[in-house]
A = this chain, B = another copy of it.
Amino acid sequence: MQFQVSNELILRLKDLIQEKNDTRLLEIFNELHFADVAEIINELSPFEATYIIKLLDSEKTSDALMELEEDVRERILNKLSAKEIAEEVEELDTDDAADILAELPEERAETVISEIEDEEHAEHIVELLRYDEDTAGGLMAKELVQVNENWTVSRCVFEMRKQAENVTRVHSIYVVDQNNKLKGRLSLKDLLTASTKTYIKEVYIPKVDFVRVDDEGEEVARIMTKYDLEAIPVVDHNDVLKGRITIDDIVDFIKDEAEKDYQMAAGISQDVEADDNIWELTRARLPWLVLGLLGGLGSVSIMGNFHSALEQYPTLFFYTPLIAAMAGNVGVQSSAIIVQGLANDVVKGSLWNRLVKEIGLSLINGIALALLLILFGVIMGNEMLFNLTVALALILVIIVAALVGTFVPIILDKKGIDPAIATGPFITTSNDIFGIFLFFYIAKLILGF
């Protein structure tokens, strides 16, 4: 299978759109999965994309809309009437529907909601829009199968059939009491083997994992991956069942988070893509570069203060990019490991043990690198005292850089700040400055200039 969207197909579709050959277009698109339709729409002009959206059934295009990049979707939605958007929204599960409406200007969103024919669907969407995007409430959908503990098995099967019509995949059957409080779950097997007159309360499984509406998305992801769950119910603070989150949404969430962390470590502050425009990319990149520049200017000032070394030991200045690079690299390595450890909850033991370990590790790395540095100095014919000074300074710089890289994220984490911001340019820049200062300070102590 592995269908691939080819350039030929795109060109052909563009021609067919120009010819308004709807019959042929419908034939082609009806064969395609909505994810492939989305890939095609990404390649079309807004006019062509809108033409296709209007031509095809909302059942197919609504899911394709969800897969589009946000800016492409925005351009298309701008070309659709509120009524047309409402038709798409009507086909979507409530979680996706709420996500689309959250992207619209408030007034337009309200108009769209008023155009939705299914009143319950509209109410559900309005409810979901109240939750924070990155919480369990913002991730959940209202579509689920729930049964009352006081029902008999036969009533339960009857009610389930009705509910299942709205639910694409039945992951679990949740059991609630008369106040809609979550009590447990029901296995399909038990339901099918129990006699029709049995009450649900006699057969349900009272143990069920759940999250609360205001739990963070990261916490939901952690629980669902830890316990290998394909769906998890969401309850409010009175234990009332409000919705459920499925694993496919969590997969998207995990991927997004990983990309954000990766970009953060590379000094990119907003979620951008290679194909975003030049201004979006500048906005994401320039702030970190300015930080780096200010750090560099800090180094210039520090060296200005040590300019007395220029006469006797000008070579010292040749080593500053090396010292800065090593301080930066060691800092990024230490912080990356700690940031990941904090995210995965594997950083245990006392701070004291961690301190001893980081110093030990830096000593091993530092001594190995210092030996290489001395070897280079000997080959270059440098004075031995000079070589030893640079080597000693390198070891100390590495130790300090590792400690900064380790403890800055830990401290940020304790203060409730995302430690991921501490990797990349932030650690590199501060370690550059520390490193260069330390290097000259030690050189001055030993060589005396």
Contact = CB atoms under 8 A, between A and B. Distances in A.
A352 interface: no
Contact of A329 (B288, B299, B338, B348): B288
Contact of A296 (B268, B322, B335, B368): B322
Contacts of A300: 315, 318-319, 322, 376
Contact of A247 (B230, B258, B372): B230
B1 A325 contact: no
> How often does this chain occur in the complex, in copies?
2
Interface stretch (A99-107, A114-122, A219-227): A219-227
Interface residues of A, number: 99
Contacts of A169: 230
A259 interface: yes
A421 to B, nearest CB: 14
A318 B317 contact: yes
B346 A318 contact: no
A258 B251 contact: no
B274 A251 contact: no
B346 A274 contact: yes
Contacts of A259: 258, 340
A179 interface: no
Given A325-B328, A341-B275, A289 B369 contact: yes
Contacts of A252: 225
A445 interface: no
Given A292-B329, A300-B318, A325-B328, 9 more contacts: A230-B230, A250-B251, A258-B258, A258-B259, A267-B332, A285-B365, A290-B369, A314-B314, A317-B318
